Chain A
């Protein structure tokens, strides 16, 4: 902070004098100086599950800073490029491999400001950090109040995507979720921001994801090392084995976009009736979670992957709190009768959700796991489900007092 050349147009000595006076006044006023520049924290869950020792933790933190820079300075592009002899890879190589656009990252990173034309900087800290946290770990100050919790980007898992379950979202997917927001959650719509600002934020989300995934890869790499052996710092390892493969998954996302065939040609009522049958069937098994009436009252004691990680550790609530994490929460299947789609409401979106499932959640896909393979259901059947699900908000529920099972049977 304060490094910026705001005052460059004016005589330097006079400015520094004035600034000095301001400082003296300020320090006298409060007895404290400015805060340290923000740093990314370590992934404490990964450090714990990987049983990473203090030495390796420090090394991982250093490597990550060398590779990705700091919250103020992505890829250290602004820092004096003090040639770090430990690394035989330059900053530029990390940046180039990441495939990220530095100008966009710089617009999203750093502290909040805007210039005379209204172009903003520090967008992530202005719009996102209080929920998603400085490192995109979903641990911003407001997080404990929010349900679902803000997303932890560091696993690179996203729900509102057009791609297959295991694939990354496309740029358009992330852009879309920022533009639309996620209704029914606290994730806002940013449609009022200029598109280049949303673009910059999308790039920054990718950056934080890539960084978070790199961290986990580094932890995993420790298993191949001998006790006390440092992590290698060469190009072959850091770029070749870690960053490149990760970047590739982001770059090939387009290839995994789900393109459903045309819906079968039949009367809507017919398709809806078939969908209703499938919904209740053991094969699709939607009722297991969503309940026979699709009220979302099936299995309500499951977890999403972010919470499950802590469940699997079998920790006491106090230990979880000590790790700086949030209390474990269940995920609830959607009440499909409300007609609220969090991750896109077009038939195409709902198709993709049912085909691929929802990444990071228990909601499974019923389409083929890989293109060309055979899925639990055929594309036509998925379309029937789409039509049925989309008809649910207009479908009247059982009259009060009658036991639902009877009504359901009657209706089917």
Chain B
């Protein structure tokens, strides 16, 4: 057993089942429907996160005071003219609800498709988890409005990216590359980035949670606490950039990494570089130039414009990009875990038993 593989080999039968899908698929007809639904799900969940961020950026959460109705109308029947041509805050909030509802339906469709086509109990479990989480998230959003509770908005903002990460997981485990993985086990064995990738994933999510504290800082948050949060957010951001770049390098350095993992490795580095720049930019358009840069030269004329296009765009982009980074690190980690489990299975004599346990 390679040292990196011992994280999973011989562990809980659940993980074993999950990582072992390939063995079944080789004997089974592969349906691509679940995968296409998962693609659609990811493609709609990400814009939803963006629009949700816009709601926070513009503090538009209470632009519609009722829920699940919109000013007394059924969500889908609210006159589209009043929505499109009404006030901006209402446009954003109602739009977020409509998109949220669409994602909810797509999630349920995905879950059904997966349930019908997949036999693996963990993939099926994931389908159920996604469906439950989307309902939970919708209710959280509703409660945020009904109770006018800003801390619920923050919770809602943290669940969103977690949901997106699960969407990405569904996208991965229904993909052909994933299912083919047991057949294409690289000759040199596991990539050995199992724990490094897990750490990157953990940091990526932690960053989102910390970021939510910055964005949802309530009026009574102590200045010292806010400062500590921001400093931690910056330090961890740099840490995450380092960690994820290391993981990406390990993935790419070894030519035989699965294609999607390679693509994600390149993407995550680009996204992180953008994210660091976006972070500084988001700070600047909200609070002025950091580090006293604003005392010098032409920078001294920098003016923050509240609710300006730059403020809205850059702040929301920083927030949404966080979810993309979470998504790509999730993908990298999934393949790393899978591989390390596969490698462990190759060398562990008890594999047959584990496989037996899942059938």
Binding site for B on A (CB under 8 A): 1-2, 4, 6-7, 9, 19, 22, 25-26, 34-35, 38, 111-118, 120, 125-127, 129-131, 133-134, 139-147, 181-193, 321, 324, 326, 332, 335, 338-340
Contacts and interface: CB of A to CB of B under 8 A. Distances in A.
Contacts of B24: none
Summarize A's interface: helix, strand, loop or mixed: loop
A85 to B, nearest CB: 32
B301 A340 contact: yes
Contact of B222 (A116, A127, A141): A141
A289 B301 CA distance: 21
B116 interface: no
B140 to A, nearest CB: 9
Given A118-B88, A141-B226, A186-B287, A6 B65 contact: yes
A338 B223 contact: no
B124 to A, nearest CB: 26
Contact of A183 (B63, B151, B292, B301): B301
- Give the 7 A-B residue pairs with the shortest CB-CB distance, closest first: A118-B87, A141-B226, A113-B62, A186-B288, A188-B304, A188-B306, A141-B221
Contacts of B87: 114, 116-118
Interface stretch (B141-149, B164-172, B184-192): B141-149
B254 interface: no
A374 B295 CA distance: 36
- Please tell me the size bucket of the interface on B: 35 or more
Given A144-B227, A145-B290, A183 B148 contact: no
Contact of B297 (A9, A131, A181, A338): A338
A10 to B, nearest CB: 8
Contact of B303 (A35, A112, A181): A181
B319 to A, nearest CB: 16
B223 A141 contact: yes
B217 interface: yes
Query: B219, B294, B297: which has the most chain A beta carbons within 10 Å?
Result: B219
A36 B140 CA distance: 21
Contact of B304 (A189, A321, A332): A189
B107 to A, nearest CB: 21
B219 A133 contact: yes
B208 to A, nearest CB: 19
B94 to A, nearest CB: 11
Contacts of A9: 72
Contacts of B290: 145
Contacts of B86: 116, 118
Interface in B221-249: 221-227, 230
Contacts of A125: 219
A188 B305 contact: yes
B6 interface: no
Contacts of B59: 112, 126
Contacts of A117: 87
A183 B303 contact: yes
Contacts of B218: 141
Interface of B: 59-63, 65-66, 71-72, 82, 86-90, 139, 143, 146-149, 151, 217-227, 230, 287-288, 290, 292, 294-295, 297-298, 300-308
Nearest to A131: B287
Contact of B294 (A144, A184, A191): A184
A250 to B, nearest CB: 25
B217 A26 contact: no
Given A1-B147, A129-B219, A145-B287, 13 more contacts: A6-B66, A19-B146, A22-B146, A25-B139, A35-B151, A112-B62, A142-B223, A147-B294, A182-B303, A184-B300, A185-B294, A189-B306, A338-B298
B71 A116 contact: yes
A142 B297 contact: no
Given A6-B65, A26-B147, A193-B307, A185 B219 contact: no
A111 B148 contact: yes
Contact of A142 (B60, B146, B287, B295): B287
Contact of B219 (A19, A140, A144, A186): A140
Contact of A190 (B61, B143, B297, B306): B306
A128 to B, nearest CB: 9
A112 B150 CA distance: 10
Given A118-B89, A145-B287, A2 B303 contact: no
29 contacts: A22-B147, A25-B143, A35-B220, A38-B220, A111-B62, A112-B61, A114-B60, A129-B219, A130-B217, A141-B217, A141-B218, A141-B219, A142-B217, A142-B226, A142-B287, A147-B292, A181-B304, A182-B303, A183-B301, A183-B303, A184-B294, A185-B294, A188-B305, A189-B304, A189-B306, A190-B306, A191-B305, A335-B300, A338-B298
Nearest to A190: B306
A221 to B, nearest CB: 29
A67 B288 CA distance: 36
B305 A192 contact: yes
A186 B72 CA distance: 40
Nearest to B70: A116
Given A125-B219, A186-B304, A189-B305, A113 B225 contact: no
B307 A192 contact: yes
Nearest to A1: B148
Contact of B65 (A4, A22, A147): A4
Nearest to A32: B151
Contacts of B308: 192
Nearest to B140: A29
Contacts of B62: 111-114
